[in-house]
Each structure stands twice: as C-alpha cells, then as structure tokens.
Structure 1
C-alpha cells in the first residue's frame, strides 16, 4: 500500500539529507510504527507519504514514494486526499471550521459525499472517539487532548485507505489514548486500513504494531522488523523493555501482561535485596510487601514563605466551570504533577498561576504578587510557563536570536539561554531556524527560554510531548537540579512515567476539582489508569521506575 524506494530528502539550505536510504514497504491492512530519537526525520518520512514533502515543505526528494500506486512526486496532497488521511503533531493546524461537528464533516464536504452518508459517518466517528458530548462545542474551548481527538476524527470520516499519524496520543490522557489506539486497531483489523504512525511514547503503542520501522540516527537507513526484533537493538525503548533488559529476559516483553508472567523471580530478588538492606540496618519487616517509595518522593520540608498559594480558586470560562474551589500550596524545591483526564482543568491551573486567566473567585498568590495584576516584565522573574505549543514562546528567525532575546528579557548574563539550549539540545547550531526543529526540539528551546530568568516557580504543560526517552532523561536531570536549587516545579502531564520519575506529589483532577493530593507513590499506585508500567509489572510490590529497581538490585552501582 505504501512503498518507499531508496528515498532521501534534503531541505533547502541543508548540508546533509534529513533522511536517506529509506527503503521499505507498509503492506495493506497493517499498522507500522515509525520509531527513533527526536530529530531523525520521522515527520519528514510521514510527510512524504501524503505529499506535503516536498510540495509544501520544499527541498529535494530523491527516490520514489507510492501510495496505492500513486507517485507522491507527481500527485499533490489534494490529489491524495481520498486515499490518505493525515494528522500532524499540531492539531490546531488542521482545523478550518469552528465547531466539532462541522470539522468532522468538512473533509467529506470537500470530497462531495452525499449528505446522508456524511451524517452517518459523523455520528459513527463521534461515538468511536468519545466526542458525542462535545459535538456542538467550539473547538477553541477544547483542551489540547480533545482537539487531538477531533483532528483524528476529521480524517477518519472520509474513510481513507491509509492513515498517517504523527504523535497521535501525545496530548491524550491514558484512557483517551487507549480509546484512540483501540479505534486504530479496529480500523486495521476489521476494515483493512493501512496505518503508518510515529510515536515517542512507545509504552502506549508498541503492542498494537505489526512492524516497526526504526530510524536509529539522523541520515541512517531504517531498520524494519517485528516489534520484538527491533526493540532488541533500538536506542529508544519503553520501560517494559528496559526492565526486560535489566532482568535479562529473552525474548524481551512488549506488554505489561508478558512482563508480569516472567516477573516472579525478579520480585523474589527484589524482596531478598530489601530484606538484606533492612537486616543491615537492624530493622524488622512487619509486612511481607512494604510500600516502596522513590528517593525523591518525599517533598522538601517547607522553608519560609510558600512559592505560590492557591485558595478557593474557581474559574468559569465561556459559561463552563473549568475549576471549582481549588486549594494548592507550592513550596520551594517541590515538584508537583497535575494529572487527570483531558479537560480536567490542569492547564487552567497553570494559566491562573502565570496570570493568563483571571479567577472568577478565590485567590492566586506568588509571594505577595497577584499574577494577573503583575506586569509581564516583573512576572517573568517570578514564574515561567512552557505551554503545550512551544511556538507560542518562539518568534525569532534563529536559535541564537531566541537566546539573545531571552537573555535581554530576563536581565541575564549573555550566553545564559544558549548554555541551557546546549544542555537540552546538543548539536543544534546557532543559525537553525526554530521552525526547522522537531516538535520535541522546539519544546526544549522554549524550556530554555523560560528558564533563562531562573524563576522560583516553573510551570510546564505536557513537557515531554514530542520528546524521545533520551531527551526526557535530560529534562528529568535538569528539573531535579532546579528543584535541588529551590525552584518549585508544577507539571501538567499525561506522562505517568515522567510523574513516577520526578514528582514529589501528584494532584489528581476530575471535572475541575481535586480528587487526590498526596505523595506520588500513594496516588499513582492506587490508580489503574495512572500507574507506570513498572508498578503494574511488579505489583503487589510498590516500585515505580526501572532506575529504582536497578538501584535496588545493584546498590552503589548508580542508575
């Protein structure tokens, strides 16, 4: 159905091809996962399938890409629209109408489908993606994850034979991501739809893939194989595979269920190690399975004035109650993960803390300052926000210009922002245009801009969206350093693995209200939806991360 024949793409002004030697086939009715580190060209490969590369992006495409027999070099995207449906990383870029129902119908109107067919397909898609309650909502009022589902739905309604998806679950909560992936699996298995999908959160999607096409490094030829074959050599892999490598399991497990079946010996080893440690400290074990907590999971002792205080905060937007009586105290050095379904109110809390939203009632304080009444030039030294869309913070033509502007805005020493960029994005040159960065790279640049002023409170909205595992590890290391220096950090995230790694506290939201607030180990372990893979595999023992298991098995060896 999709055929790449020795394809290379070189963008205008680039010294080297972004991708080269791409030669593989996606058979009809299969789901192929495109994997690899950030910046290796996954979005370029996907763009070549729907004709966006090179017709809209420019540059030179060598070799041949065919979809259902059509050569994408000679067929522009509109001439492929009846066979290829595409959803990119940014759902806002897709929308051409104002409401959910109109957006679902638009693609079919463009193809001239009959009204009765359009109505039936809209209803089917609303049910498939859990959007029925949102059908009349303005798209601008939806959360990022809800917008992502609408974008996916808008390309499903014309019933294309090929779906091309770039990070389709990156903005979705765990339950919504499972719903979308189940829909994709149904389309593949029952309707014979061909799916080519790029995704960094392999823990969510790997079990659905028939094959994986791995781009191991920039410019390297892809490696094609079954998920088990590719994961054995891949530089990117989910926690379940990392745990399998640590435990020496062969073949490597790809699902929590597979790993649980093999985990008996590992649980016994961990229990024995813990027993040795307790005995060495002269302690007695009162329970057969004591609760485990991460080394960083105890919040720091409050010192002096809280960094921020939220009291009885309620927010109503467009007659929708976004938040109801939120109370939250944020202390220096504390890292808090805001979690919950899409639309639960996580981003609204962040926007209230940074002054973008005015409370309907209640108060928000940053020390003595009220965010929505504080001038931006003063607020930047008190709180920094990295939004879901990093381009909202980026406006210059080069990375160097962004860094210079950030230093000036923050009153920081020249080179402060560039040093952060070097740490988060090794190898990115000063003359690179932000639009030429991948989604994950743009996010890292926006984070560096926000951190330049070293604000005491740092807010991040879905900070790992578009990041590979190595970039996420660098982010975790940087945020731990900031917390150790006394910065308070609040993350709104659907990434349960990130919360397990770094959060002292988890605040769980539903329908604009706090339904749980406590230490990470207590909150996520008790939640089937928000528990990380390691917790599910090693239950009833309470482990959260592979690094924690490694430290227990090999004391003193480091993580």
Structure 2
C-alpha cells in the first residue's frame, strides 16, 4: 500500500489516511485498533472491495502480488485473495456446508476431482466432517464461522484476509482454526492479514502487528514493540507492562517464565472477597426458575437436555460452553420466544406470583425478560437512531425520551440522525441494549455481546452490566470470551451437549478448566487470580 487514503461516500474525512504498508509473502499480520477505527476498510482496500463495491474514493496505490487494485476488480483477484468477513451468514451463497465449500472452486473452474479432495481436506482440517450435509442456516454462529473460513481455504489463495475470524468460536475451536491458519503460513507461505479484537488468541502467532489509529493513520512493526504502547492489547501484555517485564511477553509461556517472582510474592494470598452485591444476590429468591428444560429443534436435534437453572437479581451469570452446546437455544427458551419441548420456565411478576414468558404476548414478554441476540443489529430496522429510540418508547409505553436517555448513559454522543447501520459495533450494541431496557425488564439475557468489541469497549460493557446488576437486575451472558467472564461475571454455568456440567462462582468454574481459564490465571497458576486488576489491587494494597 503506497500513500493510500480512503474517503467513504458522504464522509467529511478519510477513514484511512496516507497509509504506507508492506506485508511480505508468508507473513501473518495482525491488525488491531479500536472499534470503528477502519480495520475492515483496510482489509477491503487490500482486496479491491474498497472502493469498487463500497464506493467512495481511494487515493494512492494497492498492489497484490503485482496486481494494482485500481485496474483489477475483486473478481480479477479471486485466484489470489480469499476474504472472510465479520458476518459469515451474509457471505454464504449456497444451502449446505459441502456446497459452500465447493462454490468458490467452481467459480475458478477447478476439476471435480480436485474439488472433492479439497472439500474432504477442509472438513477434516476444521473438524466439521459431521456437518457436511447440514443446512447453513441451522448451524450455530461458531459453526458458520468455520464454514466461512473453510470456503476460502479450499481455493488455496496466496493471500487470506480474515475479519474477526474467531469472534464466534469457543476457545478450542479458535485454537483449531488458528492452528490451520498458521500451518498455511508456515508450510505453504500463504500471506495472512487478520483483524481481531481477541488479541490474546492471535498475538503469539503474529509476525507483525498493524495498528489502525482512530484518526486513520496506520503504523506497523514487531509485535513486542507495537504492544509496548498499544491501547488494544492482551491480558498477558497488560500484566507484563504493569510488572515491568523485559522483554515484554506475548504468550502465556513467556509470561510464566517472567512471573516467578510475582507468583512467589502472591503465594498464600487471594483476591478480594466477593462483592456485597453478589453476596446478597446469592441469598435472594430466583427471579427466573427453569426446571427440566428441554428444547428440540426440527429434525429431532436435542439442543437443551433437561436444564435446571436459577437467575437471581443483582447477579451477573456467565453461560459458557463449546459451539453447538445449546447456549442460544437456552436463552431463547428462557425469554419465551422458543416454547420448550418439555420442562417449565417461570419468571417472578412485579405484581406477585410467577408467569410463563412463553405464554405472554411479545410486548408483555419484553417487560419480563429482555434479550439481545448474537447479531444485535437484527433488532434495528428504522432509518435513524432517534427513530429507533422513539419506537422503543412507544412499544414499551414509556415516557418519550426514555430510550434516548438510556442510550446517552450507555454510549454518549451517538447522533440521533445517524443510520443505525453506520454505527460501530459497540454503538449498535448500546442502542439495542437501550431499546431492551426501555421496557424495564428485571431480567436481561445477552448472546455473545462482545463480538466486534475492542478491549476498551468490552471493559465499558462489563461496567455497564455490573451497573445493571447493581440496579437489581438478573443478567445471563452467553459468551466464549473467557477474559470478559473473568472481568464481569459473578457466577458461571457451563453447558455441554445441552446439559449443565458445572455451575458455581466464576473462579471456581474457570480455574478448574485449562480451556476456560483466562490468561492471568494461566500465568499465575496455581494462584486463584483471574484478572490484572485483582493482582494490581493486591500488590498496591500490600505496598500501602
């Protein structure tokens, strides 16, 4: 990229400004930056989608293996560049997994024998052979993400651009995908440019870090040098910067080597006791009580298998489990939009007694249980933010301005005349949260709310959810983000094959699992530490 600036149609300033960047063959470049800073635009410019599909103006020059994107449209680069976007479902063009894996190769005119071989290889690489004939729309979000990546891999491109490739994957699934990507880099010299907010998953694989600043400028360098000052980082790097370790560790392995003295100093100590709010919540009657809950989907797919679950006011509960374990199905059954096949759900009513949310009309159901789905923007359908807020007030019979005030509290300075689709992922989430909270439900369910959020936005979301719990709400958050759970959740419920296999205080559940443990726990094992803040508070308190 030579002196590249991108100004989107209708924008008053460039999204990217005077970018000079080279990515070498066989290099894995990790792109980081705040939500909405322009990472997706950077990837789009690398494959010609910007400006050929998006519109706007691109100044400067982008060369991909010698081909100039000004003269070669994306279709002319299809044999060189494979792209996986943030929303896999939006990129699918066929009906089943096998058809989607083969589609790209059909467009390139490969032989049937070659296509069959590559489909089999990709199914095995991604660990999804059993999904071969499954309709794409019946897959979980994480399964869809794997298929989207697989549909690119089958074409054997020389450059792969990945936008948030692990955001919907559980920790094991993410490691499997990244192992596949790094194998392509190391063994086949494929160039990979990967934008990811889950920096802790990718950083130790990266050869180079590319930082996109909010003003549109781009800098690049060795990972350790870039992480020394980056505001978007991983818990391992944050711990290393606080502790003053040199060289700055990028992986858990390197951090454990540097942390011997810190582990010794923390031996015999533990984090501060549970907060008064969480302790009080444990003594309250459940606001939501599910017993023997069973959910079967068409085709006799058993998604939820006899779950018993209690949610209490003032408590944030993390719902975890591998992709396809039944988390989303459980949320929709608790909210009442999906009627359970067996069992029952009861929610405490404000006027006393209990109600079955599945038996309520939608407007009354919202007053009992709010739900933010995986794709929060699916709930936004009007042309302006102000219109969405006004409609939420009307539907919830709330005083005019209620939703707008909630939005201002969650995400200040969101223009009322802005189209919701033009908001950053964090702003979209805040708007949907405000819409749901306008009905003032005592229970709030969130499905993968951290997708597309940078670490700063996730910290703000954690603070928001804990504030809602302080106000007396019960919250259930389904997520694969173990770092977010460590920061936010008071309690964790672990699902496997639709069943609850573990339940208890956050530290008790996540420390017992090598896959669920956050990075700080792995670095300071066997100590009971989950976050950098816990360590910092303990050490600073001792020094005082």
> Structure 1: which 5+ runs fail to align?
272-287
Mapped pair 1:444 → 2:423: no
Shift of 1:291: 8.2
Query: Which of these residues, 313, 322, 337, is aligned with residue 293 of structure 2?
Result: 313
Q: CA deviation at 1:243?
A: 0.7
**Offset of residue 292 of structure 1:** 7.3
CA distance in structure 2 between the partners assigned to 1:194 and 1:174 by the alignment: 24
Q: TM-score, normalised by structure 1?
A: 0.93
Q: 2:496 aligns with which of 485, 494, 510?
A: 510
| Inter-partner Cα distance in structure 1 for 2:499 and 2:297 | 15
Aligned position for 1:553: 539
Work out the number of aligned pairs and report it: 538
1:305 offset after TM fit, Å?
A: 4.6
1:301 positional shift: 3.6
Contact 2:493 2:504 in 1 (8 A): yes
- The equivalent residue for 1:284 is none
Name the structure 2 match of 1:216.
Answer: 213
Distance 2:543 2:305 in 1: 47
Distance 1:73 1:132 in 2: 40
Q: Could you tell me which residue of structure 2 aligns to residue 529 of structure 1? A: 515
Residue 519 and residue 303 in structure 1: after superposition, are their counterparts in 2 closer, same or farther (change >3 A)? closer
> Which residues of 2 match residues 184-199 of structure 1 at below 5 A?
184-199=181-196
Match for residue 222 of structure 2? 226
Paired residue for 2:351? none
Task: Give the alignment partner of residue 242 of structure 2, picking from 233, 246, 253.
Answer: 246
Report if aligned partners of 2:159, 2:192 keep a CA contact under 8 Å in 1.
yes
Match of 1:538 in 2: 524
Is the 1:385–1:458 Cα contact (8 Å) retained in structure 2?
Answer: yes
Task: Give the structure 2 partner of residue 61 of structure 1.
Answer: 58
Distance (whole Å) between structure 1 residues aligned to residue 387 and residue 542 of structure 2: 44
Give the distance between the partners of 2:180 and 2:89, measured in 1 at CA.
Answer: 22
Q: CA deviation at 1:55?
A: 1.6
SS at match of 1:540: coil
| Residue number in structure 1 paired with 2:376 | 390
Aligned mates of 1:423, 1:24 — CA distance in 2: 39
Alpha-carbon distance change, 390 to 434 in structure 1, aligned in 2, over 3 angstroms: same
* CA drift at 1:199: 0.3
- Please point out which of 258, 265, 282 is paired with 2:261: 265
Deviation at 1:215, TM superposition (A): 1.1
Which residue pairs with 1:349 in the alignment?
330
> CA 1:426 to 1:47, structure 2 compared with 1: closer, same or farther past 3 Å?
farther
* CA positional deviation for 1:450: 1.8
Deviations 1:44-96 (A, max 9, x none): 11111122211221111111112122222222222211111111100101111
**Pick from 407, 419, 434: which aligns with 2:393?**
407
Deviation at 1:269, TM superposition (A): 2.6
* 1:317-364 per-position Cα deviation (integer Å, ceiling 9, x unaligned): 121111111000111111111101000000011011112211111011
Alignment of 1:3-18 (within 5 A): 4-18=1-15
Question: Is the 2:411–2:427 Cα contact (8 Å) retained in structure 1?
Answer: yes
Give the counterpart of 1:378 among 341, 354, 364: 364
CA RMSD of aligned residues (A): 1.8
Where 2:431 maps in the other structure, the secondary structure is helix
Instruction: Assess if the C-alpha contact under 8 Å between 1:382 and 1:455 holds in 2.
Output: yes
Other structure's SS at 1:127 match: helix
- Which of 39, 42, 50 does residue 39 from structure 2 map onto? 42
Q: CA deviation at 1:428?
A: 3.1
- Flag the 1:255–1:423 CA change in 2: closer, same or farther, 3 A: farther
How far apart, in 2, do the equivalents of 1:375 and 1:12 lie?
42
**In the alignment, what sits opposite 1:97?**
94
- How far does residue 163 in structure 1 lie from its aligned partner after superposition? 0.4
**Cα distance between partner residues in 1 of 2:151 and 2:543:** 51
Q: Which of 315, 320, 324 is matched with 2:305 structurally?
A: 324
TM-score, length-scaled by structure 2: 0.95
Other structure's SS at 2:476 match: strand
Question: C-alpha displacement at 1:366, in angstroms?
Answer: 1.6
**What is aligned with 1:280?**
none
Is 2:211–2:218's contact at 8 Å kept on the other side of the alignment?
A: yes
1:235 aligns with 2:231: yes
8 Å Cα contact 2:145/2:168 also seen in 1: yes
Which shifted more, 291-300 or 528-537?
291-300
- Go from structure 1 to structure 2 and tell me whether the alpha carbon gap of 1:115 and 1:336 turns closer, same or farther (over 3 Å shift): same
Instruction: Provide the secondary structure at the position in 2 that maps to 1:554.
Output: helix
